[in-house]
Every structure is written in structure tokens, then in C-alpha cells.
């Protein structure tokens, strides 16, 4: 017993004799015993000292035994208590046990209970120890359960965050899920996720701030690290930071909108060595967060890091894709613009010869719109006017994968045909497989016409040259012989006339060459229309009369604007037209010159119209009269002298003067050629 820690017993007994007896007995049993003479004293002693066991006598003044037990029970957990009652008072014993007393003992008259007392105390103590052990076990079990609950919570939380990460949801949704889960793990008032951008933290997601009316504030919050030392520290250390009490943390920066924050927890969001941002928790009460809380949040911060990194990768990828798409679109637009602007008609068709694409030039040339052409067979739209030989060489070239070039006749939508220079090339995909053909063609009708006109010209010029030269040759021969001296004057006149024809022809050819080299127009001055018209009348009046024609010039209208250009050249152009009118109008006809003004293409023009009562020009010939060397049916070689250069010279002169020449005519209804001159108002 001596080795054991001594047990202290408080015994409340108002009978001093009995008390001393009990004390003696228990001290003999190895206990330390203090006696209280009544309940009140006993309660005071109990409060002052530390007792392992309390025994109370039921019958005491002021506080009886039950009263003491009652009072002690109301103050806290009861020590092992033993109720001492008199015989026949078992009800008190039962009541005491109900209140929490550990045991009871009944006083017998013989005092035998004194011998029993030590073992009752021993039993109460043992019971107490058992209870304590049970409580400890209970607490341990509770602790284990709590730990398990927390583990489960963490696992659940992470599972949900992982699910969010793995699903197709946006990174904002993942960050919101992380904030949501943070609330489950570490309860708080508000939470936010801020990203580190150029030495500043920018809040990107948040929750709970609406309660504090600071949503607007948090949504715009950017914290430069230089101004927020605590945030800066976590970025540097990459370790969480707990601010237990913001009022006692000198480095805490107080902002008006978040003055309610009393404790704070910062968990850095790191990917390997890199700090991407922070997960921040705030509470309006001090001491809300612990280092353990920070540990619990670390996995969430890790998940946030992955979400943020993913988003950045995706954004980068998206930007790259967008840039690439823009490049492709620009490239395609460029190709389209090129295809639109080229003069050649371009058509692509597939292996079955079905049209897939046509450009604007195709529509302009053929009259078929893209809608009408697409999907059609190339032949049906372009009418393959191709010789058997050409078809064969085309088949051969395409079979060898070569480009074919040749001349064909195409038919327009309205049925008219045109000569075309056509090229067809195979189209291949990236792997080199044949996927279709691209054809380009242009209208060479005019070139062909020109060619024909040129041949005609050569024949004509040769004829024109031969006629005067032959005549000159003949008359000079006759002059040399001198057989008919009376005809000498006539022969000389013929020689002179033919020489003049020759000179005219050569002049026209030289004139055309000069206009072509751009040397023809030198002046840009106000043109005196009365002089120009007057000269033409003076020069052609007698010729007109000789041909039995009337040549008149109508009076100039008043307030005529000032026409501008090269007066000498414009005179030449007018005379060329007047000459034609005189040549082609039969005797008895009339040639009229009239000056007017006209508005066209938003500007003011002065026009000189030369009207004749001649045979007129057919629509087909009207299209060609300004072509070089073109001579109409009226001028069949031999009938009318000329070169077919007159009107093309007029056209070149008008172009060089910023104007133009037009023709209006009807077969049998005369012709009107009009010169259009640029003008400035007032004159």
C-alpha cells in the first residue's frame, strides 16, 4: 500500500466521535482522511482541496447528504461518492445512487460498517477508474471516428473536384467547384482564387462576398505583390500562411471593403515549382483557421493548379487555332480576290466534268451565273465547239496529266458564239491524286477579227498602193511618149491626184503609229468650238457640193461651257468624221454638225454630233467601225478609197483628250457620230 499514491478522502460527519473513529479506521487502511463536521464545511473543503473519494453522512444539519451530492453534481462531474445512511433508510441510498453516488453503506449499531468501509471505498475507486478508462476509450473512439470522417470528406471532396476536372466543364466551373468543396473541408465566410499575373494577384473566382456587399469589389480586385506583403510572402515561400487575427498582424493591409475580415488563410496554388496563384479563405471571426486547415486545403489548391494550367493550354491552343484559321481565311479571300479580278474565265470541274466553281469573268463572258453553272456538265454550259483533232489531243494531254492549250468556239447563254483560247490543267490533292480540272479561257474573237482585218488591210493597202502607183506609172509612161500633147495637162493632174492618195494613205499609217506611241496630244487648252466647226465647213463645203450634198453647221447654243483639249487634234477628228459622212452619203443628202451639252457619269460634256442621211450602219458593223483597218461592206475594196484607219484614229484622239466617240445609226436611217469633249462650266 505504501508504494501506492495516497488516496485522499473527505468524510462529512456531524458526530465528532464517530468521525474520529472512521478517520482512525481509514488511516489504518492507508488513506489520508479529512473530516468535515457538516455539509456546508464539506462543500467548502471539497472546493479547496483535491479529494479522490467523498463520503457523506445523510443526517447532517443545513445540508444533508443528498443535498451535498446534489450541489456537487450541479458543479461538475462527481468524484467517487459514498452515501452513509442509517438502517432502514434504503430509499435515501437509492436516491443518492440515482444522483450519481458510486456506492452506499448502512451504519449498523454494532459499528461493523466501519470494517466494511475500506473495501467499499476501494470498490468505488475501482469503479471510478473503470469509468475513466471507458471514457478514455470512448474519446479515443470518437477521435478515430472524427479522423475517419475527415478522411472520407477529403476523399469525397477530391473525387468531386477530380470529376469536375476530368469533365468537359470550363475551368471557371472547376474553380467554382473547388471553392464549393473548400467550404466543406474548412468552413469560412468567403473564399476566392486569385491568379498571379505580372507581380500582381488578380481575383478570378470567388464566393460568399455578397453577404458582405463586397462582390463588386472582389470581382475587380488586383493586388500588386509590392503592396501586399503577406501575399508576397506566400508567393515567395510557396507555403500556406495562417493569419489568426488580422487586428494583430502588422503586415495585414486593411481595406475598407474587407475590414470585416478577422482571420485569413492563404494557400498557394503551385504547379511543380511554379506559383500560379492563391486560394484564399476569410472569416469574420478571429482564430478560425489552423495550420491543419491549410494542409487539408493543399489537395484542392493542387487541383486548382491543374485547372488553371489546363485552361491556359486550351487558351493558347485556341489562340493558335484562331490565328491559323484567320490566316487560312485571309489566304482564301486573297485567292478569291485574285480569281475575281482576273480577266480570264475560270472554271473548275470534277472528274465527271461537273462544274464546281466559276469566277465573275466567266459569268460576264458567257452570261451564265454561278448558280446556273454549278453542278452542270462543263460541255453543256460552254458548248464544246472543238474539232475532232482538238478533242483527241485534249484527251491525250489529260490522260498524261499534262496541261492542254488550244483554240475552241464557245457558245454563250444567249446562243452567240465566240472564239476562245482555252487551257485545261489537271487538279490534284495533297497526296497527288487527280481530283478534277481547272480551265481558263478568254474571248479572242476580237483578236481573230483583228487578224482578219489585218489580212484584209494588207490586201487593201496593197490594192490601194497598187492602184495609184499603177496609174502614176501609166501616165508618166504616156507623158514620156508625148504622143498626145493635148492630154499632158490631164495626165499631170492624174499623177498629182494619185500621188495625193498615196500620201494620204501613208499619213494615216504614220498618224496611227504616232497616236500609239502617245505623242499625238500635247495641248490641254480651252477649245474654240466656233473655229473647229468653221474650219470643217470651210474645208469640206466645196467637196460636199461636188458630191451633191448640203453641209450645214447649226448655230452654237448660248452659255456653252468651256470645252478643253488639243484643238488641232480635235479639228482633225471632226474632219475625219465629216469626210466619212460626205464619202458614204449619196448625192442629194445632207450632213449636219450640231454642238450640244450633255451630262453623263456625273459630269458635264460638250458634244459635237455629225449627222448624215446616208445608208446607215448595221448593229454588227457598229461594234467594229472603230477597230483598226476595219472597212465596212460599203467600202468594199475598189468602191470607196480608204484605209479603215480613219475612225480608229478618231477614237485614239478622243481618248487622249479624255473624251470619247460614239455612233448611233440605223440601216437606211443615216448615221450620227458624236464626239464627247470634257468641259468646265462657264464660258
If one asks whether residue 634 binds ligand ADP (CB under 6 A), the answer comes out as yes
Segment interacting with ligand ADP, rule: CB under 6 A, options 264-272, 511-519, 537-545, 642-650: 642-650
Give the contacts of 211 (CB within 8 A, at least 6 positions apart). 189, 190
User: What's the min distance (Å) between Cβ of 659 and ligand ADP?
Assistant: 18
Whose grid coordinates read 501616165? 475
Return the range that interacts with ligand ADP (CB under 6 A); candidates 70-78, 254-262, 461-469, 635-643.
Answer: 635-643
Nearer to ligand ADP, 93 or 617 (CB): 617
Measuring CA to CA, which residue among 488, 595, 617, 477 is closest to residue 534?
A: 595
Q: Smaller CB distance to ligand ADP: residue 42 or 589?
A: 589
611 counts as binding ligand ADP under rule CB under 6 A: no
State which of residues 81, 121, 647, 654 lies at the interface with ligand ADP (CB under 6 A): 647
CA dihedral 40, 42, 43, 44 (to 10 degrees): 90
User: Which range of residues in 68-76, 238-246, 597-605, 632-640 is near ligand ADP by CB under 6 A?
Assistant: 632-640
CA–CA separation, 42 and 38 (whole Å)? 6
Q: Return the closest-CA partner of residue 235 out of 275, 273, 197.
A: 275
CB of 600 to ligand ADP, least distance (A): 23
Q: Is residue 230 close enough to count as binding ligand ADP by CB under 6 A?
A: no
Report CA-CA distances (Å) from 30 to 4, 21, 121, 247, 391: 9, 15, 12, 56, 134
In degrees, to the nearest 5, what angle opens at C-alpha 222 toward C-alphas 216 and 226? Answer: 150
Stretch that binds ligand ADP, among 277-285, 384-392, 532-540, 626-634 (CB under 6 A): 626-634
CB-wise, 240 or 615, nearer to ligand ADP? 615
Select 299 or 644, whichever has its Cβ closest to ligand ADP: 644
The residues facing 322 across adjacent strands are: none
Contact 330, 417 (CB under 8 A): no
Three-class SS state of 650: helix
How far is Cα 650 from Cα 577, in angstroms, rounded to an integer? 8
Q: How far apart are CA 532 and CA 567, in angstroms?
A: 7
The three cell numbers of residue 546 are 461636188
Q: What number of other Cβ atoms are within 10 A of residue 421's Cβ?
A: 16
46, 264, 630, 676: which one contacts ligand ADP (CB under 6 A)? 630
What 3-state DSSP class applies to 53?
strand
Q: Is 589 in the site for ligand ADP (CB under 6 A)?
A: no
Instruction: Confirm or reject binding of residue 643 to ligand ADP (CB under 6 A).
Output: yes
- We find the least distance from the C-beta atom of residue 465 to ligand ADP, in angstroms, to be 14
Is residue 609 involved in binding ligand ADP (CB under 6 A)? Answer: no
Taking CB under 6 A as the criterion, the residue among 231, 671, 674, 679 binding ligand ADP is 671
Q: Closer CB to ligand ADP, residue 283 or residue 643? A: 643
- The minimum distance between CB 573 and ligand ADP, in angstroms, equals 11
What 8-state DSSP symbol labels residue 385?
B
Helix/strand/coil (H/E/C) assignment for every residue in 219-257: HCCEEECCCCHHHHHHHHHCCCEEECCHHHCCCCCCCHH
C-beta of 617: minimal distance to ligand ADP in Å? Answer: 5
Q: Which is nearer to ligand ADP, 83 or 578 (CB)?
A: 578
Is 614 a binding residue for ligand ADP by CB under 6 A? The answer is: yes
Query: What number of chain residues touch ligand ADP (CB under 6 A)?
Result: 20
The cell numbers describing 63, all together, are 445540508
Q: How far apart are CA 26 and CA 110, in angstroms?
A: 17
Q: Should residue 494 be labelled a site residue for ligand ADP when binding is judged by CB under 6 A? A: no
Applying CB under 6 A, does 584 fall inside the site for ligand ADP? Answer: yes
Binding site for ligand ADP (CB under 6 A): 580-581, 584, 612, 614, 617, 625, 630-632, 634-635, 642-648, 671
Amino acid at each position: 500500500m505504501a508504494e501506492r499514491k495516497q488516496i485522499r478522502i473527505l468524510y462529512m460527519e456531524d458526530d465528532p466521535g464517530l468521525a474520529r473513529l472512521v478517520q482512525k479506521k481509514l488511516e489504518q487502511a492507508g488513506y489520508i482522511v479529512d473530516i468535515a463536521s457538516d455539509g456546508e464545511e464539506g462543500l467548502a473543503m471539497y472546493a479547496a482541496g483535491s479529494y479522490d473519494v467523498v463520503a457523506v453522512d445523510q443526517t447532517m444539519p443545513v445540508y444533508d447528504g443528498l443535498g451535498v451530492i446534489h450541489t456537487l453534481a450541479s458543479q461538475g462531474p462527481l468524484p467517487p461518492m459514498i452515501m452513509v445512511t442509517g438502517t432502514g433508510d434504503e430509499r435515501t441510498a437509492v436516491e443518492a445512487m440515482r444522483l450519481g453516488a458510486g456506492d452506499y453503506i448502512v451504519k449498523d449499531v454494532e459499528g461493523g460498517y466501519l470494517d466494511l468501509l475500506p473495501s467499499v471505498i476501494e470498490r468505488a475507486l475501482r469503479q471510478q477508474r473503470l469509468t475513466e478508462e471507458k471514457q478514455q476509450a470512448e474519446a479515443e473512439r470518437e477521435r478515430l471516428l472524427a479522423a475517419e470522417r475527415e478522411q472520407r470528406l477529403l476523399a469525397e471532396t477530391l473525387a468531386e473536384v477530380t470529376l469536375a476536372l476530368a469533365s468537359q466543364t470550363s475551368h471557371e466551373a472547376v474553380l467554382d467547384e473547388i471553392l464549393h468543396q473548400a467550404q466543406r473541408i474548412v468552413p469560412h465566410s468567403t473564399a476566392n482564387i486569385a491568379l498571379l499575373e505580372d507581380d500582381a494577384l488578380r481575383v478570378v473566382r470567388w464566393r460568399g462576398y455578397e453577404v458582405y456587399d463586397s462582390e463588386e469589389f472582389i470581382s475587380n480586385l488586383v493586388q500588386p505583390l509590392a503592396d501586399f506583403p503577406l501575399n508576397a510572402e506566400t508567393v515567395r515561400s510557396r507555403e500556406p500562411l495562417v493569419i489568426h487575427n488580422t487586428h494583430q498582424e502588422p503586415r495585414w493591409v486593411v481595406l475598407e471593403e474587407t475590414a470585416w475580415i478577422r482571420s485569413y488563410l492563404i494557400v498557394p496554388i503551385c504547379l511543380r515549382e511554379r506559383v500560379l496563384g492563391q486560394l484564399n479563405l476569410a472569416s469574420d471571426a478571429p482564430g478560425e483557421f489552423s495550420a491543419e486547415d491549410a494542409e487539408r486545403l493543399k489537395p484542392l489548391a493542387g487541383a486548382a493548379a491543374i485547372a488553371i494550367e489546363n485552361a491556359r493550354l486550351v487558351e493558347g491552343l485556341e489562340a493558335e487555332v484562331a490565328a491559323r484559321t484567320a490566316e487560312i481565311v485571309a489566304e482564301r479571300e486573297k485567292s478569291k480576290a485574285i480569281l475575281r479580278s482576273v480577266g480570264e474565265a475560270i472554271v473548275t470541274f470534277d472528274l465527271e466534268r461537273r462544274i464546281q466553281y466559276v469566277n465573275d469573268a466567266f459569268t460576264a463572258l458567257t452570261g451564265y451565273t454561278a448558280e446556273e453553272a454549278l453542278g452542270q456538265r462543263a460541255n453543256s454550259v460552254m458548248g464544246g465547239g472543238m474539232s475532232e483533232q482538238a478533242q483527241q489531243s485534249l484527251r491525250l494531254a489529260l490522260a498524261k496529266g499534262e496541261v492542254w492549250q488550244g483554240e475552241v468556239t464557245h457558245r454563250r447563254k444567249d446562243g452567240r458564239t465566240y472564239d476562245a483560247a482555252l487551257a485545261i490543267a489537271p487538279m490534284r490533292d495533297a497526296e497527288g491524286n487527280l481530283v478534277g480540272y481547272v480551265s481558263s479561257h478568254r474571248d479572242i474573237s476580237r483578236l481573230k477579227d483583228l487578224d482578219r482585218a489585218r489580212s484584209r488591210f494588207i490586201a487593201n493597202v496593197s490594192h490601194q498602193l497598187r492602184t495609184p502607183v499603177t496609174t502614176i506609172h501609166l501616165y508618166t509612161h504616156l507623158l514620156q511618149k508625148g504622143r498626145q500633147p493635148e492630154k499632158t495637162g490631164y495626165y499631170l493632174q492624174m499623177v498629182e491626184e494619185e500621188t495625193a492618195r498615196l500620201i494620204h494613205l501613208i499619213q494615216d499609217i504614220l498618224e496611227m503609229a504616232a497616236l500609239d506611241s502617245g505623242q499625238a496630244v500635247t495641248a490641254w487648252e480651252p477649245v474654240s468650238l466656233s473655229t473647229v466647226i468653221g474650219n470643217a465647213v470651210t474645208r469640206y463645203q466645196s467637196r460636199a457640193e461636188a458630191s451633191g450634198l448640203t453641209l450645214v453647221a447649226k448655230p452654237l447654243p448660248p452659255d456653252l461651257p468651256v470645252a478643253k483639249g488639243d484643238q488641232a487634234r480635235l479639228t482633225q477628228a471632226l474632219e475625219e468624221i465629216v469626210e466619212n459622212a460626205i464619202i458614204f452619203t449619196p448625192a442629194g443628202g445632207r450632213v449636219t454638225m450640231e454642238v450640244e451639252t450633255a451630262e453623263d457619269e456625273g459630269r458635264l460634256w460638250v458634244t459635237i454630233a455629225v449627222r448624215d442621211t446616208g445608208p446607215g450602219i448595221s448593229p454588227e458593223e457598229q461594234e467594229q467601225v472603230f477597230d483598226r483597218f476595219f472597212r465596212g461592206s460599203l467600202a468594199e475594196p475598189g468602191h470607196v478609197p480608204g484605209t479603215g484607219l480613219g475612225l480608229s484614229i478618231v477614237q485614239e484622239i478622243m481618248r487622249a483628250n479624255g473624251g470619247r466617240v460614239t455612233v448611233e445609226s440605223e440601216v437606211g436611217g443615216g448615221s450620227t457620230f458624236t464626239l464627247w469633249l470634257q468641259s468646265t462650266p462657264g464660258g
